Amino acid sequence: MDDRKFFVVAALLAVAAADNAPSYAPRPAYHPQPAYKPAPYKQESYDQPPKYDYSYDVHGYGDYEPVFNAQEARDGYATQGSYSVVLPDGRYPDGHLPCG
Task: Specify the pLDDT at position 97.
Answer: 62
Establish if 82 belongs to a structural domain: yes
Nearest to 88 by CA among 57, 67, 61: 67
Within a domain: 67: yes
Total number of domains constituting the chain: 1
**What residues contact 100, with CB distance under 8 A and at least 6 apart?**
77, 78, 79
Pick the closest to residue 74 from 37, 49, 42 (CA basis): 49
Q: Look at residue 66 and tell me if it is in a domain.
A: yes
Q: Write out the residue range of the structural domain in which residue 56 sits.
A: 47-100
Query: Is 56 among the domain residues?
Result: yes
Contact 92, 69 (CB under 8 A): no
pLDDT tens digits, 66-95 = 788 889 999 988 888 888 888 777 787 777
Nearest to 53 by CA among 20, 24, 76: 76
**DSSP symbol at 61:** -
In this predicted structure, the answer to whether residue 39 has a pLDDT above a threshold of 70 is yes
More confident site: 100 or 33: 33
What 3-state DSSP class applies to 3? helix
* 94 is a domain residue: yes
